[in-house]
Amino acid sequence: MLDATKKPLVSVKDLKMHFPIYAGLLRRRVGEVKAVDGVSFDVFEGETLGLVGESGCGKSTCGRAVLRLYDITSGAISIDGREIGATPQTALREMRPTMQMVFQDPQASLNPRMTVENIIKEPLDEHTKLSDAEKREKVGELMDAVGLNRKFAKRYPHAFSGGQRQRIGIARALALNPKFIVCDEPIAALDVSIQAQVVNLLEDLQEQFGLTYLFISHDLSMVRHIATRVAVMYLGKIVELAPRDGLYADPLHPYTKALLSAVPEPDPSLARSTQRIILKGDVPSPSNPPEGCNFCTRCPSVMDICKRVEPEYREVHPGRFTACHLYNDTIDTAGSTAGHEAEGHTQ
């Protein structure tokens, strides 16, 4: 799994993505939505980093910002050894083949007027100089890889079901042999029995092509299945990042605890006996986050300091990062790399 020899393929430092709000007659800038507000993480080669959080917490924005689909407000992003945080969009084109994206809604992310073949072929047209015959062969291979019948290459997206459309989206993302794929809620729009098919496919492809994923999802049980490490976001910030087993067995941050306890368990005897932490109220607006810790308005273990000082995001145990004043006393272990996986095992 994870060891000291692995180097980060993607490294994000203090990423900020603020969207301006314009109001009034003169459309003056009156504030900003801090969708992503100072996020740092690494994604190691061959791993899957799960990014979870509730709607509006900035997880999708974060995924898109990492691929520079936005011009970010500030921060540094390095992918495969190249710094792309401030690179102009035109210069990013040559980087695009290494980093791809699978979108949430397979209905909206495929052009209804293009055949499946043309959809999967488009990145090849843009970025390679293959001949038509070679491209067709490549499209055929990709369709095989994602489990679509080659005979359907001339059909249009409407002729496919949701799960199959998501496979088309995955084939398109794979076309240029990327190293890093951001999967933005790839299974959210699918039925339960189809979700498992797509997740298994993503895992197979990861093994086959040595891919690295940033897997964005609000489905905590699915993330537990697919991710190597998990980052939890709340209101534009990462509140906790930890290896999968440690996070699910022993969450540190109060928000992670509440989030995990809120997931309905498909087991009636367990579901009725477990004590849920029911959070009061709603998520504050990202245009006007509270002072101090972002979670202080809903936190069950809130202290005085939380309302004044923003907690620092740091490594409190080896491999386990969190931003919470409850762990102020723990010795700072930043820099140590050993024993990531030995930490907090399940069951």
Q: Tokens 């500030």 sit at which residue?
A: 74
**In angstroms, what is the minimal distance from the CB of 22 to other proteins?**
19
Pairing of strands 212-217, 237-243: unpaired
* Residues numbered 142-181 forming contacts with other proteins, rule: CB under 8 A: 161, 163
Q: Is 225 in the site for other proteins (CB under 8 A)?
A: yes
Residue 167: φ, ψ to 5°: -65, -35
**For other proteins, which stretch binds (CB under 8 A), given 29-37, 70-78, 151-159, 193-201?**
193-201
Which residues, listed in sequence order, are joined to residue 19 by a DSSP beta bridge? 33
Q: Is 224 in the site for other proteins (CB under 8 A)?
A: yes
Angle (nearest 5°) at CA 119 between 105 and 207: 75
Angle (nearest 5°) at CA 288 between 188 and 236: 40
The DSSP element (H or E) to which 270 belongs, if any, is helix 268-273
- Which of residues 13, 218, 257, 307 is near other proteins by CB under 8 A? 218
Q: Provide the token pair at 58.
A: 């900035």
* Residues numbered 277-296 forming contacts with other proteins, rule: CB under 8 A: 278-279, 282-283
CB-wise, 28 or 276, nearer to other proteins? Answer: 276
CB-wise, 23 or 262, nearer to other proteins? Answer: 262
Q: Is 16 in the site for other proteins (CB under 8 A)?
A: no
* Residues numbered 82-141 forming contacts with other proteins, rule: CB under 8 A: none
Pairing of strands 237-243, 229-234: antiparallel
CB-wise, 42 or 203, nearer to other proteins? Answer: 203
CB-wise, 278 or 331, nearer to other proteins? Answer: 278
What does the alpha-carbon distance between residue 277 and residue 43 come to, in Å, rounded to a whole number? 31
CB-wise, 136 or 225, nearer to other proteins? Answer: 225
**In angstroms, what is the minimal distance from the CB of 267 to other proteins?**
6
Contact call for residues 326 and 300 (beta carbons, < 8 A) = no
What does the alpha-carbon distance between residue 263 and residue 158 come to, in Å, rounded to a whole number? 34
Pairing of strands 74-79, 82-83: antiparallel
- Which of residues 222, 232, 238, 241 is near other proteins by CB under 8 A? 222
- Which of residues 86, 271, 334, 338 is near other proteins by CB under 8 A? 271
- Which of residues 211, 258, 296, 323 is near other proteins by CB under 8 A? 258
Q: Is 269 in the site for other proteins (CB under 8 A)?
A: yes
Angle (nearest 5°) at CA 168 between 163 and 172: 145
Using CB under 8 A as the criterion, which residues of the chain lie in contact with other proteins when the complex forms? Answer: 54-55, 161, 163, 191-197, 199-200, 203, 218, 220-222, 224-225, 248, 258-272, 276, 278-279, 282-283, 346-347
